[in-house]
């Protein structure tokens, strides 16, 4: 199989994520220096595949990008070519234009595609694999919620940024006897909230997998107050749900394959806790700060391993798969088995049980 591969294409889709550039760099360097391949990139995710927006990726193009956040190929979390929006008679109609992408791949003489993205991007990656395109996926999301891999790149950076934010919020909390609430990302999974909460010494952690009763969080804060600790730190995932199932939608992005954007739960939780616990409260939304900027060294290493392993999968002809990390081993799993399965926090897992054992309240 490997002798037939002469040229590969790379694409980044979905929200940006620390580590995208190191993946691109590792893939390009491995492809060129180990296998003598030619490499090109499609700009702006599937938008570039549709419009044939291609750039050459040689060694110079990836020089110096290792520590830089974002992606030199730009990204888009819209542009699903299997359901692409067109305006017709004042109405939006969705058409399958995926064949345009197949044509553009052929037109550029590309033998295989490395598609870097989260569930939405890799869903189209799987669908292109089903159409016969030679695809290898690389798992990207700060949320760490993609199935079949232990860790996605970007997660470690997000957790580090959130932990530092918690350290800073601690000083204000302690100086003013306040409840400080930090809202972090995590639409369907509480990995960032859980890890940052443990690393940053939170008193309460609220995650989507453990629906909360706000009274229980308030009671835990009141108990601390009675013990003389007159401040508390609360981390809440944007997708945390109350026991009645309430979530907080900040906007709907109509032309996105996953249109719901969450946000705002932190302010609501702060107001409720101020009223119930009798301490002044403030909310901070960390937002895209946790997704931007330079990757941690751990993420740089993981991204580099993913990028290099993606080229190895291409060269061994293992198409239709996503590169994975299992324990400390690089491996792979069929995209068919990855897509549509959210990897949430198991409420019985060691981290949650340990946190509960040392008095961190989840409100469940």
Q: Which residues are near ligand F6P by CB under 6 A?
A: 15, 77, 118, 141-143, 185-187, 238, 261-262, 291
Per the CB < 8 A criterion, the answer to whether 121 and 13 are in contact is yes
Question: Minimum CB separation from ligand F6P for residue 117, in Å?
Answer: 10
Report, in Å, the least distance between residue 250 CB and ligand F6P. 8
Write down the least CB distance from residue 210 to ligand F6P, Å: 18
- State the minimum distance, in angstroms, from the CB of residue 233 to ligand F6P: 21
* Of 101 and 190, CB closest to ligand F6P: 190
143 is catalytic: yes
Which CB atom, from 187 or from 300, has the smaller least distance to ligand F6P?
187
d(CA 122, CA 137): 7
Helices (H), the chain: 20-29, 46-51, 98-107, 119-130, 155-176, 191-199, 214-226, 265-277, 297-315, 335-338, 350-357
Q: How far is the CB of 177 from ligand F6P (least distance, A)?
A: 31
CA angle 305, 307, 309 (to 5 degrees): 65
Q: Which residue is nearest to ligand F6P (CB)?
A: 185
> How far apart are alpha carbons 57 and 80 in whole angstroms?
24
Name the residue with tokens 């957790």: 159
Longest dimension (CA), the chain: 71
Whichever of 142 and 166 has its CB closer to ligand F6P, that residue is 142
Count of beta carbons in the 10 Å neighbourhood of residue 52: 15
Residue nearer to ligand F6P on the CB measure, 320 or 344: 344
Check: CB of residue 259 under 8 Å from CB of residue 83: no
Cα separation of 202 and 197, whole Å? 5
Catalytic, out of 143, 156, 203, 299: 143
Q: Which is nearer to ligand F6P, 30 or 47 (CB)?
A: 47
Strand, coil or helix: what is 249?
A: strand
**Which residues are catalytic, by number?**
143
């Amino acid at each position: 199989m490997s002798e037939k591969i002469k040229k590969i294409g790379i694409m980044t889709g979905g929200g940006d994520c620390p580590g995208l550039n190191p993946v691109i760099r590792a893939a390009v360097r491995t492809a060129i220096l180990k296998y003598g391949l030619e490499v090109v990139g499609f700009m702006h995710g599937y938008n570039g595949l549709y419009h044939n927006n291609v750039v050459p990726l040689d060694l110079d193009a990836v020089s110096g990008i290792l520590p830089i956040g974002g992606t030199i190929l730009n990204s888009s979390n819209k542009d699903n070519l299997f359901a692409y929006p067109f305006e017709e008679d004042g109405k939006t109609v969705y058409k399958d234009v995926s064949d345009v992408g197949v044509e553009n791949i052929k037109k550029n003489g590309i033998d295989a595609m490395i598609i870097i993205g989260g569930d939405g991007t890799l869903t189209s990656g799987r669908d292109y694999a089903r159409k016969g395109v030679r695809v290898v996926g690389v798992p990207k999301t700060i949320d760490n919620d993609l199935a079949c891999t232990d860790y996605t790149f970007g997660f470690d950076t997000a957790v580090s940024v959130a932990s530092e934010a918690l350290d800073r919020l601690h000083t204000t909390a302690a100086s003013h006897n306040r409840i400080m609430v930090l809202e972090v990302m995590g639409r369907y999974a509480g990995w960032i909230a859980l890890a940052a909460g443990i690393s940053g010494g939170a008193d309460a952690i609220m995650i989507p997998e453990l629906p909360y009763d706000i009274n229980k969080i308030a009671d835990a804060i009141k108990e601390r107050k009675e013990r003389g600790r007159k401040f508390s730190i609360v981390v809440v995932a944007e997708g945390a749900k109350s026991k009645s199932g309430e979530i907080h939608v900040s906007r709907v992005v109509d032309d996105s394959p996953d249109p719901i954007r969450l946000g705002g739960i932190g302010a609501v939780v702060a107001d409720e806790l101020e009223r119930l616990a009798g301490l002044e409260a403030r909310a901070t939304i960390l937002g895209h700060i946790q997704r931007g900027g330079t990757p941690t060294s751990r993420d740089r290493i993981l991204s580099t391993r993913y990028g290099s392993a993606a080229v190895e999968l291409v060269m061994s002809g293992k198409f239709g798969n996503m590169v994975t990390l299992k324990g400390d081993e690089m491996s792979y799993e069929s995209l068919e088995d990855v897509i549509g399965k959210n990897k949430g926090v198991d409420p019985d897992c060691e981290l949650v049980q340990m946190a509960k054992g040392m008095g961190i309240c989840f409100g469940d």
